[in-house]
Structure 1
Amino acid sequence: MEIDFSKYLPVLAAVISVSLGYMYGVRSKKNDRIMQLTQESLKEVYSPMFHEISRIISKMVKPIDREKMMDSFFDKYASDVTSVYKLGNLGLMQSFYELSNKYQQFKLTRDSSVWKDVWYEFEEVIFYEVKSGYMNSVNLLYRDFKWQQYIQAKPYWMKLYFESIKFLHETANGAIVTSAILLYFSGFFRLLGLGLFPKDFWVISLIIFVMSVLASLFLALFNMQYIILSSNIKQSLLRKSMNKIFPKLLFKWDGLFSVRKNYNKVPPMYDINIHKD
């Protein structure tokens, strides 16, 4: 089958240019806003919360000191001037306020079962989510930090080379996404018998998709320094992808074998009866 590529070049050029224009142009303002909000939430909420909870759950803390620290924690983040809204996570905020109410219930009843429930939510839900948000925020803000340090010390021509390879690799990745979308819709409409695309358009999309994948793999070899310096090597690629695409599913998977009734990491609560005069 002979395909006349010239018929499709204007359409493909328009689609690819619009897609790349969106990725590198229109989306930049939104990304700048996200970076600004991430920086604020990291400084004002995620970092303080992470370190405060880390101290509270430490095994070295005495029960009386732990309870005082938890009192201070909930007073601070459940006050009228709280910055907890900057977590940017409605699920986490709801869990926090529910736990705050449950902790107040414990303070009134001093019930050991309520304390166990409070501690489980505090360590296994709140701390897990806060830690995840803290690490993700740091990774987002400083993803290119080591890379920029690396290339700034290089001669001008090497900086130009590294930046050019990075741009070409990202362009190839963008072409993969664009061609995959075109392939999906053109192939799907062809199966349905709809003539919204030219007859051989899906073939052209498939060819461009394969070529883009090969180009991306080839350019990745020359772009390996950026990939290494901008990656979190302590986290597997599969887990990193799952955490980015399906964070709730990954959280449920991590807690699949963690049954609350068998949770045995609850520290002793402060017994005020023992210390009464």
Structure 2
Amino acid sequence: MEIDFIKYLPVAAAVVSASLGYIYGIRSKKNDRLIQFTQENLKEIYSPMYHEMDKILDKTMSAENREKLLDLYFDKYTATDIPVYKLGSLELLDILYDLRDKYKNFKVVRDKEKWEDFWWDFKNNLYHKVKQGYRNSIGLLYRDFKWQQYVQSKPYWKRLYFESMRFLFETAKGSNVLAALLVYFSGSFALIGIDFFPDDFWKFCIMILGMSIVATIALMMPNIEYITLTSNSRNSFTRKVIKKHFPKILEKWDKFLVGKKNYDDVPIMHDKRFF
């Protein structure tokens, strides 16, 4: 069956318009508030809390000094004058207060099992979530920073080119999602016999999806700098999985990208003598 493309042009225009509206729409007051709140909790809570915990977890620290730091840590972050609510997570607050109680209990009984139970939760639960919140906050605030820094240092005509390529790339990605949804719904309705869409509409959607995928792939090369600067590929889920199960493959890939390490220009180490 031949598809009448003309009658579906308004649909294509709607897909593109929706993509542009989704990607380049005016930021709402709610999003502005989110950015402001993220700046506040990163500065006042997440950053100091994360770095203090990182210091407590230092393996070279003595047990006595570690316990002193833990005393200071819980005294500080469970005090009434600290806006710990800016962690923005009831789960995280519950974990913090639960660990405070566990630590107090350990201080009273001085039992090894109590200490091990507390330490495991402190390291694998609280620290993990604080670190995640710290990284997510930085990612939200500074995701486009390196890209804008890179673009603004270029001549005007290059800035225009890079921003145009980015615009087309993000539009193509948005079109992929919308076209895939249209394929899903139109195909589902066609299978169950609901005449909500014209008979050949799902074929048109597949064509649009194919074109947007091809456009996305074609636009990846001129946008390689944008993708690199705005991604967190070294800590992505895929990289973590490969690192855990196939570390040698990841090591070879990194060597391929970065090249072999060359230590010829490393300065001489200070040879400190102990008497």
TM-score after normalising by structure 1 = 0.81
Measure the CA separation in 1 of the matches of 2:32 and 2:217.
29
Matches within 5 A, 1:8-157: 8-25=8-25, 28-157=28-157
Measure the CA separation in 1 of the matches of 2:237 and 2:64.
42
Measure the CA separation in 1 of the matches of 2:219 and 2:28.
24
Hey, what does 2:246 align to over in structure 1? none
- Runs of at least 4 residues of structure 1 off by over 6 A? none
Q: Deviations over 1:15-69 (max 9, x none)?
A: 4423432332155544333222222121111110111001111123222221121
Hey, what does 2:192 align to over in structure 1? 192
Matches within 5 A, 1:146-225: 146-225=146-225
Q: Per the alignment, do residues 23 and 185 of structure 1 end up closer, same or farther by CA in structure 2, a change over 3 Å counting?
A: same
Q: Per the alignment, do residues 221 and 15 of structure 1 end up closer, same or farther by CA in structure 2, a change over 3 Å counting?
A: closer
Q: What's the RMSD between the two structures over aligned residues? A: 1.9
Measure the CA separation in 2 of the matches of 1:46 and 1:31.
20
How many residues are paired up? 241
Contact 2:47–2:134 (8 Å) recurs in 1: yes
Q: Deviations over 1:96-143 (max 9, x none)?
A: 121111111112222211111111111111111111221222222222
For structure 2, the 5+ residue unaligned runs are 242-275
Measure the CA separation in 1 of the matches of 2:215 and 2:62.
59
Q: Which moved more, 1:20-29 or 1:178-187?
A: 20-29
Give secondary structure in 1 for the equivalent of 2:22.
Answer: helix
Give secondary structure in 1 for the equivalent of 2:165.
Answer: helix
Measure the CA separation in 1 of the matches of 2:186 and 2:235.
37
Hey, what does 1:4 align to over in structure 2? 4
Q: Per the alignment, do residues 136 and 219 of structure 1 end up closer, same or farther by CA in structure 2, a change over 3 Å counting?
A: same
Measure the CA separation in 1 of the matches of 2:8 and 2:233.
42
**Shift in Å, 1:236:** 4.2
Q: Deviations over 1:82-101 (max 9, x none)?
A: 32222223322221121111
Measure the CA separation in 1 of the matches of 2:160 and 2:23.
21
Contact 2:23–2:170 (8 Å) recurs in 1: no
Measure the CA separation in 2 of the matches of 1:15 and 1:230.
25
Q: Which moved more, 1:71-80 or 1:20-29?
A: 20-29
Measure the CA separation in 2 of the matches of 1:22 and 1:222.
23
Measure the CA separation in 2 of the matches of 1:118 and 1:167.
50
Structure 1 counterpart of 2:172, one-letter code:
A
Measure the CA separation in 1 of the matches of 2:97 and 2:209.
48
**Shift in Å, 1:184:** 0.8
Matches within 5 A, 1:230-269: 230-236=230-236, 238-239=238-239
For structure 1, the 5+ residue unaligned runs are 243-277
